[in-house]
Structure 1
Amino acid sequence: MAGRVSTPGASVVGRAFAVLGAFDEQHRSLTLSELSRRAALPLATTHRLVAELVGLGALDRHGAGRYTIGRRVWGIGLLAPVQTGLRELASPFLHDIFAATRATVHLAVRDGTEVLYLDRLSGSASVPIVSRVGTRLPLHCTGVGKVLLAHAPRDVVAEVLGSLRRVTPYTIVSADVLAAQLDRARRDGYATTADEMSIGASSVAVPVLRHGTEVVAALGIVVAQLRRDRRRLVAGLRVAAQGIGRVLDQAAAR
């Protein structure tokens, strides 16, 4: 469970991070008691820490005594190299794909056993999209997630395959089926989903490579269905991913 990183005698910084870590994609807004439980901290300690974090802008307090992550934390997060480097270098290529398709485009990286969305250009409002910049979603039921999982270390793959969660009736929850899809993603160079994260949305994604071999991110697109346009979309994503990889290599060589 998110946030359960506290131990008796932990430092103030450790306890503060336990409070911040209590938030995740499924828990964007929490009460004080929920924060206390998820951070594994006494209620009085949580109350004191939350008051300080609100004063510093790290948390925001809303009506009915609920708290959310504050803008200051988000602003600091944008300074992380994975954001400022990869996101900025990839931005022109995402805009190229968006201009050609008018569909939602994603840039994402793996964060443990989840996919972290670094950037998103919003497309057709008729296609249901649950991702937002800075959010995390399961690896096994998103196009970008499957690509990243296909190239993840074996222990990460084993952990994900051992705890598959159904999100929609079409989510792949068979370890054997998903393992076969990951093999195919490695072989074909792309991964797809169909109604697995949200009904009415299909996706296709390709890896972004650094130095030609190291998978550092995934580039994906979400549409209503892939039957007619899969080949065209994969081709466009590959060109863009190759461009991102090229500028990453150039930036590293400077």
Structure 2
Amino acid sequence: MPDRDFDRTTVLGKVMTVLHAYSIDDSVLSLAELTRRTQIPKGTLHRVLTDMVEVRLLDRTGAGYRLGGHLFELGMRASVERSLLEVSIPFLEELNVRIHETVHLGILDGTDVVYLTKIGGHRQASAPSRIGGRMPLHCTAIGKVLLANADSSLREKILSAPLPRYTPHTMILPGPILAQLDRIAAEGVAFEYEESAAGIVCVAAPIRDGDRVVAAISVTGPSHRFRPEAHAASVRAAAEGIGVTLARRSRLLTEPRS
């Protein structure tokens, strides 16, 4: 089922319902599966899918329908995320070369982390994160950074609801989580020790554009070889470098030309 509810009586609602029927693990979905997930009548859905193929929001294949290339083009026009990616990539690549572990860039979206990019290699850790995928805030290093710097209403919303436990190490009690978030806000760095997946550890730091935290970066590795606390200074420095570059770019774009 789609992860959001849309008004299926409107054309836009039907289109959005179809798009959100795809999960991060889906490449192609059949008409039957899309009918099941969207709960749109098959005849109506077929017409919607035909129109979406026509404008390249979907591609038709022998096995069904896949998300179209036009979605990628539109996504890359999103100015905030595009600017953030352009500025961050050199810093992330440098971190990856220096530390030889998986590097992430993530932003806050609702109550989740959305990963904008992930740079790994031959030694890449088997982490559950994926580009364009989502992970919860309470059990990921990037998520903790973003939650530690979010407004109090988001903290209350997340911590007042039951929190899923992904491993025996996942923290789910509000009190200890709040204490950890306060430390993260003060120290500017967060750690994860096998809280989102067994065998995975991580260190993350916030990216600030002025006084506002707009994203976070992390380095992730397997617990048997990676010591995240040893790389906290490097991750924090890279995040600060991205923030300084973002601020400089913003000034250049807004300053009047003589």
Normalising by structure 2, what TM-score?
0.85
In structure 2, relative to structure 1, the CA distance for the partners of 1:154 and 1:248 (3 Å cut) is same
Shift of 1:202: 0.7
1:220-239 map, 5 Å: 220-225=218-223, 229-239=227-237
Instruction: Give 5+ residue unaligned stretches, structure 1.
Output: none
Specify the alignment match of 1:134 in structure 2.
132
Distance 2:85 2:204 in 1: 17
Preserved contact between residue 124 and residue 221 of structure 2 (Cα < 8 Å): no
Distance 2:198 2:28 in 1: 25
Distance 1:24 1:179 in 2: 31
In structure 2, relative to structure 1, the CA distance for the partners of 1:124 and 1:36 (3 Å cut) is same
Q: Give deviations 1:107-165, integer Å, cap 9, x for gaps.
A: 11101111111121114536212222222222222111111111122232223221412
Normalising by structure 1, what TM-score?
0.86
In structure 2, relative to structure 1, the CA distance for the partners of 1:37 and 1:181 (3 Å cut) is farther
Matched length: 250
Identity percentage of aligned residues = 36
1:62-211 map, 5 Å: 65=64, 67-125=65-123, 127-161=125-159, 162-211=161-210
Shift of 1:218: 0.2
Distance 1:159 1:31 in 2: 36
Specify the alignment match of 2:3 in structure 1.
2
Distance 2:34 2:93 in 1: 39
Distance 1:68 1:189 in 2: 40
Report the secondary structure of 2:217's partner residue: strand
Preserved contact between residue 101 and residue 124 of structure 2 (Cα < 8 Å): no
Preserved contact between residue 208 and residue 241 of structure 1 (Cα < 8 Å): yes
RMSD over aligned Cα, in angstroms? 2.5
Instruction: Give 5+ residue unaligned stretches, structure 2.
Output: 253-258
Specify the alignment match of 1:53 in structure 2.
52
Preserved contact between residue 28 and residue 68 of structure 1 (Cα < 8 Å): yes
213-222 or 185-194, which deviates more: 185-194
